[in-house]
Amino acid sequence: MPELPEVEVTRRCIEPFLVGRVIEAVHTTPASYFFLTPPGQLKKSLPGRKVGAVSRHGKYLRALLDNGQTLVLHLGMTGQLFSSGATSVRLLSAAARAALAPGEQAAFKPDKHTHLRLCFADGGPDVLFRDVRKFGKVLLLGVNGRDERLERLGIDALEASGIELFSATRKKRSPIKSLLLDQSVIAGIGNIYADEALFLAGVKPTRPCRRVKSAECHAIVAAAQRVMLRSIETGGSSISDYVAPDGTDGGYQDERQVYAREGEACPKCGHKIVRVVVGQRSSHYCPACQK
C-alpha cells in the first residue's frame, strides 16, 4: 500500500519518463469516481502539454505542465504508476501470472484496471496508471486551481518535527495512532509506518493523544522519518500491490519490526506482537515495549 516512501520512490522512478516530454494522446477507462477530472476533459486538455517538475506532498504526486496546470495523482491503496517498458509479474493478474513459465517476465499490457495511459510525441515509452481497487485519484488543476483536499494537507512528514504533532495532540482525544494517520496534521504517514514509528518510540497506538508527552511526539516523528527514509533507500514496502515504476519490488517489508507480525516475537524483548483495531485500521504493537 503506497505511503510516503512508496510514493517518493515512484516519483523518482517516473520523473525521467515525464519531465520534458510532450503528451500526445491520453487513453482512459470510463468515467468513475477515480477521475476527479472527467476523462473527456483530460483527453481534451493534456495533449500538446509539456511536463515540467514532478513533486510530492504527502501521498500526492503533482506534475506541473507548461501552461501552468497541474496533473495531480494519488495512488490510493493499489495504485501503480509505471512506464510501458516495465516488466514484472506483480503487474499481472493472478491468472496471467499462472500462465507464465517459472522465472519468466512478460511486458505489461494495459488491462481493464489501467485507468490512465499517457502517450508522448517522441514515440518513447508510455506512462501508465493502474489501480485495481480504484481508490486512487486523478485531478487536473487549472492555472490558479485550488483543491480542498490538497489544501487540507498538513506539513509533509519528512519536513515535520515533533512540534506539529504535539500541538495537534493537545486538541484531540482520539488514539495517537489515529492522529498519525490524519493527513491534515502530518501528510504521508500510513498504516505501516505509523505502527513502526510507534514501536520505535515505545508508545502504544491506543494511547489517548492528550496523554502523549512532547518528548514522545518528537520521538515518534523522528522514528517515522527514520523508517521512511530507510524505506525509500530500499525501494519501499512491497506489501499488497505496491510495485516500483521500474517493475521491481521494494525491500522494506523485510525490515518491518511489528507491522503484520501478529503473534511473532518482539525484536526487542521477545514478547508476542499483538494486533488490535484502532480507528478501523489494524494496528500491531508490543504490549511490553509500548506503553
Active site residues: 2-3, 59, 281
Q: State which residue, 60 or 120, has the beta carbon closest to DNA.
A: 60
Question: Among the residues of the chain, which ranges form H helices?
Answer: 4-14, 39-45, 94-98, 148-151, 162-169, 176-181, 191-201, 214-233
Task: Based on the shown chain and the rule CB under 7 A, indicate whether residue 32 belongs to the binding site for DNA.
Answer: yes
Report if residue 231 touches DNA, rule: CB under 7 A: no
Which residue type sits at 94? A
Strands of 23-28's sheet in order across: 23-28, 114-120, 127-131, 79-83
Round to whole Å and give the CA distance between 286 and 291: 9
Binding residue for DNA, selected from 123, 173, 254, 270, defined by CB under 7 A: 173
Which single residue is written with the C-alpha cell 516495465?
86
Closer CB to DNA, 49 or 175, in the complex: 175
Answer for which of 27, 117, 226, 281 binds DNA (CB under 7 A) is 281
Contact between 8 and DNA (CB under 7 A)?
no
Q: Does 230 bind DNA (CB under 7 A)?
A: no
Would you count residue 41 as binding DNA (CB under 7 A)? no
Number of H helices, E strands in the chain: 8, 12
Residue in 83, 114, 191, 238 binding DNA, rule: CB under 7 A: 191
In angstroms, what is the minimal distance from the CB of 66 to DNA?
A: 27
- Chain-centroid distance, C-alpha 288: 30
**Which residue type does 226 have?**
R
Are residues 286 and 199 in contact, defined by beta-carbon separation less than 8 angstroms?
yes
> Binding to DNA by residue 280, rule CB under 7 A?
yes
Tell me whether strands 281-285 and 274-278 are parallel, antiparallel or unpaired.
antiparallel
Q: Residue 174 interacts with DNA (CB under 7 A)? A: yes
Interaction between residue 132 and DNA (CB under 7 A): yes
Is residue 59 a contact residue for DNA (CB under 7 A)?
Answer: yes
Which C-beta is closer to DNA: that of 12 or that of 149?
Answer: 149
Compare residues 7 and 119 and give the one whose CB is closer to DNA: 7
* Residue 26 or 260 having the CB closest to DNA: 260
According to the binding rule CB under 7 A, does residue 5 interact with DNA? no
Q: Helices 214-233 and 191-201 meet at what angle, rounded to 10?
A: 130
Q: 53 exposed, middle or buried (CB, 10 Å; 0-12, 13-18, 19+)?
A: exposed
Q: Catalog residues that contact DNA under the rule CB under 7 A.
A: 1, 3, 32-33, 58-59, 74, 76-78, 93-94, 113, 132-135, 149, 152, 171-175, 178, 181, 183, 190-191, 209, 260, 279-282
